[in-house]
Structure 1
């Protein structure tokens, strides 16, 4: 598992864009993690799947709600990462009203989750290999704090915990 102080992996996530502009086409667009985190503070949280109960009812809404406070504490961007495709993440973004607040990033093949050692085997539930639930504060591409949930729990990766660490 990735540790505090380590660099995020050089992988590419996908982000669904609803509008045309600044070279971004409508549809999935690549987000190169190393490049996108350089010189920024990112509040990154990951979860097992889009539209799942805890993720939709608590995890994403908490970060949308705390957007202004996270920004005021020095966070440049908030990222939600899930092992889903960009089209699903785009639909979930519309459902959760994350526009302008939380970037909904698809880790379609689980490459990011694998690279940081935080996969979750949900084959028994018919969901395949997913991401564990966690949050991390990333500064200039390096992990500044890490909060990994125990299986089936939602206690330490919430927006309030990451906000307290950002204010640190």
Structure 2
């Protein structure tokens, strides 16, 4: 049981460090820059880390609470109160976000397979952010549209047309 508690504590610490890292380093990026890891934009990862802190801390507290109850030790009220707070925080997060923490990035390739454009679609609002890849995990927003633009993609010889606006391939293929 001690190993499980250590793992939960380390997971909560890792999530807290993840939130701090993304919040601190986001200030150094431009307004149109997005970091993507494993097809997950950084705001999704940051939100998952933010939710992970009370989940792992709550699990750690519940494990400690069950142990104390079994061994008839003191501190049950304090641990019960902390578990209640973690549950309340999770309920508050769910109430604010409605369970929508973020969205995955998708890729569309040209018919010839030589070019790609990326997008992140908000299923609830219908907003779509179109991205171009830069170096490493960096992507840049080239256009914001609604979901109808997903049907209005036209691959031309030397450019991509998104919802009536053209982007040359040297812009979207910059690596």
Compute the TM-score of the two structures, normalised by the length of structure 1: 0.23
Tell me: higher relative CO, structure 1 or 2? Use CA pairs within 8 A at least 6 residues apart. 1
- TM-score w.r.t. structure 2 length? 0.23
